[in-house]
A and B are shown apart, each in its own frame.
Chain A
Amino acid sequence: MHPTQSSQFEHASLKNYLLDHAYDEMFTGLGDLHRHCEPLLEHFSALPSEELQRRKQAADLSFLNQGITFTVYGREEGTEKIFPYDLIPRIITASEWATVEHGLTQRITALNLFLKDIYNEGRILDDGIVPREVVYSCKQYRRQMMGLQVPRNVYIAVCGTDLIRLENGEFVVLEDNLRVPSGVSYMLTNRRVMKRIFPQLFRSYNVRPIEQYTQLLLGTLRSLAPEGRPEPNIVLLSPGVFNSAYFEHAYLARQMGIELVEGRDLVTHDNVVYMRTTIGLRRVDVIYRRVDDDFIDPLAFRGDSILGVAGLFNAYRAGNVTLANAFGTGVADDKALYAYVPEIIKYYLSEDPVLKNVETYLLTKPKERQHVLQNLDKLVVKAVGESGGYGMLIGPQSTKAQQEEFARKIEADPRNYIAQPTISFSRAPCLIGDELQPRHVDLRPYVLYGDKVTIVPGGLTRVALNQGSLVVNSSQGGGSKDTWVLSQ
């Protein structure tokens, strides 16, 4: 369907804007504009194409000069790329956001209770809601965490949940990221660039601010400090400059005014963590760690890690230092466990989930596996422990050979994979060349959990910039755009 046929906007930039069955963030199914998008389209249509290009270049240059780049793995060295940025903001209405906020708060509360439970009494396992084998066979399950008390019982201090919109416009959860979710710096810098490039448009919408995120994050971390440390020394632990998210680590540390440390800056002695400073050793109380469990302490976990700190886990067990997030949170964002999250929410909160899951086939169940193997060309298959768009099969866009390869992998290790229907998630207008075209988008809001749950209104909208692509990950040709949550 062609939107301009019934739309009041007859603009050349829309001539290739074709609607399909996916939900469109700008047009209704009938080709009319969503009301909240009218000023947006009006504004963009009024700008000459050269002016639009000029602003786009200004934005790109601003990202490059700020060094807002990420590293692409698996290629030659020196592949620092800017995260492609789309100029057209994605708009979320106040009522849509209210649902998202409610749903995410509910979900993180329940998942946190789940982690506390499985690392302590294990009631949910005794009651048979979640099968023991799903938990214990998870690579992210850390038996070292059994019986360990974490401050305020908060395991997940920072989380970034991936949401998508179904064809009817409903937001559903695609993935929980409970380990070290990244991307929040892009959310913040996108906003800054957008405000500079389209000040009038921004003002004309009542957009809720997000700039308070770093302060909230600092507050969250401070609230989790070990007892008896009223002025906690909080640090951000990064794997270092070669990590793909290093820009973000540096950005957050600077914005919070805390030290950015690497493993080699920290030492432990008598179960206390110190950092090496020019005036000697200084005690560390809270570590916002952006290093995976596996690499964080070569004594407790992977011995070949050079990113971690020997003895850190013992200091943590002794309660002398807080880690955010806690160890072992990855068990709750395992893609196989994901299928049980609605039950987990009901079990702990006696509420129905506000945000639904995407239908998920567990390949350990013979019947479901059978169905999946027969329909590999229609489904999406994901490895349970992978992220970043690596290790997945998108059935409709795959070759016969790829399907056979995945079939073999599934037969060999069914616990390691799940399958979901190929969802045509929603599309938003993007500036491609000098015209607007729809591209698939998701949404990653950032949830903070300290003394309470806080979510800044918005998040990172990621875009699959390649036409027809459903993969939004930056490592796979994805980009991002600013996300405006309206206050009314």
Chain B
Amino acid sequence: MLSRVADSLYWMSRYLERAEHTTRLLDVNLNLMLDESPISAERRWQRVLQALGKPKNVEWTGEPYALTQALTFDTENKASILSCIIAARENSRHVREQISTEQWHRLNSLYLQVTRPEIQTQSEALVQGMTQPSEFLQSVMEAVHQFQGVTDSTMNHGEGWQFIQVGRYIERACATALLLQAYHVDLWGHPERIVDGNEYLDWMGLLRSATAFEAYCKVYTADLTPDQIFEFLLLDEEFPHSVRFSIDSLQCALEKIQGDSGKARAETLRRLSGRLQSSLNYSSVDEILNQDVLGYLGGIQAQCRAIHETIYELYVDYSIQAALAG
């Protein structure tokens, strides 16, 4: 496969995952802010920004809908949902002949839906408090899910598909780690704090931000405790948004890609991703919570970045001389 194609598929997938994550985070928080909450509005939305990696030039100004507008419709903001969808579609356009027609249709329809002129009107109405974004956010999430379904059922599960998996899961692992980091102070920062009813909503919000509420309840029942939430989102083996699941899936896709192109070349990459996978597979939640949790979560993100860079050195940006020599 062409290196450029791998690059585009990887980013198409990452951008869509990012769009979906941002969408859900906004939807959940817009919904939860309607209820009384132990945390202030400011804290809530600062936390959202933190969970999104503090996008450039987006500030909390005291107005939830203005912030929502910036994170949803503002194409000046490269992290907004619209920007992510446009970037994903642009990447897919570069590899139009590599993805299935069904995939292209689904993604192109989403693009046309979010870039039609009425959307700008809706964006202005949102700032003025004249409209609710929830329908829009729902439709974006649905479209992304459909795209993933169509991808899995119409595209060859060959190298290109594996690069799509790599993009999705590396993005997801980072996003979940970042989400846990953002919630850290509120959930685990004060272990002595006494729980009242309002906290329950906040914890549920965290789970729902990772589509994890129902899945969590199936494992631990509706009995929410911060430690179990942490364990579930970080270390659950079967939940698709947990960090461990994401890294397992990433590792699996990377092995398939290496299988196609020779394992010896990929030595460094195998070491990096294997080490991260083992640390998640063989750690217990108590060990992690007893150490520097923020440092641990930051470490996961740093390792993801290193994996990303190594993937690029190996498959995309390699030097010609080295390739001719080898």
**CB within 8 Å of B: which residues of A?**
64-67, 240-241, 246-247, 250-251, 253-254, 259-262, 264-265, 267, 269, 275-281
Contact = CB atoms under 8 A, between A and B. Distances in A.
A67 B3 contact: no
Contacts of B109: 65
Contact of A277 (B1, B96, B104, B112): B1
- Which 3 pairs from chain A and chain B are nearest by CB? A254-B97, A279-B261, A250-B96
Contacts of B320: 267, 269, 281
B261 A278 contact: yes
Contact of B97 (A65, A253, A277): A253
30 contacts: A66-B104, A66-B105, A66-B108, A67-B93, A67-B96, A67-B104, A240-B94, A241-B93, A246-B96, A247-B96, A250-B97, A251-B96, A253-B97, A260-B97, A265-B3, A269-B320, A276-B323, A277-B1, A277-B3, A278-B1, A278-B3, A278-B159, A278-B260, A278-B315, A278-B316, A279-B261, A280-B318, A280-B323, A280-B326, A281-B323
B108 A251 contact: no
Interface of B: 1-4, 6, 90, 93-94, 96-98, 101, 104-105, 108-109, 112, 159, 257, 260-262, 315-316, 318, 320, 323-324, 326
A264 B94 contact: no
Contacts of A280: 261, 318, 323, 326
Contact of B2 (A241, A251, A254, A259): A259
Among A246, A260, A261, chain B packs the most CB atoms within 10 A around the CB of A260
Nearest to B3: A276
A118 B1 CA distance: 40
Contacts of B98: 254, 260
A250 B100 CA distance: 12
Most buried by A among B90, B97, B109, B260: B97
Nearest to B322: A280
Contacts of A269: 320, 324
A265 B108 contact: no
B3 A66 contact: no
Given A241-B93, A247-B96, A281-B324, A66 B101 contact: yes
B305 to A, nearest CB: 20
Nearest to A258: B97
Most buried by B among A64, A275, A279: A279
Contact of A261 (B2, B112, B315, B323): B2
Given A66-B105, A261-B2, A279 B262 contact: yes
Nearest to A251: B97
Given A240-B94, A279-B262, 20 more contacts: A65-B108, A65-B109, A66-B101, A241-B94, A246-B93, A246-B96, A250-B97, A251-B96, A254-B96, A254-B98, A260-B97, A261-B2, A262-B4, A267-B320, A276-B318, A276-B323, A277-B2, A278-B316, A279-B260, A281-B323
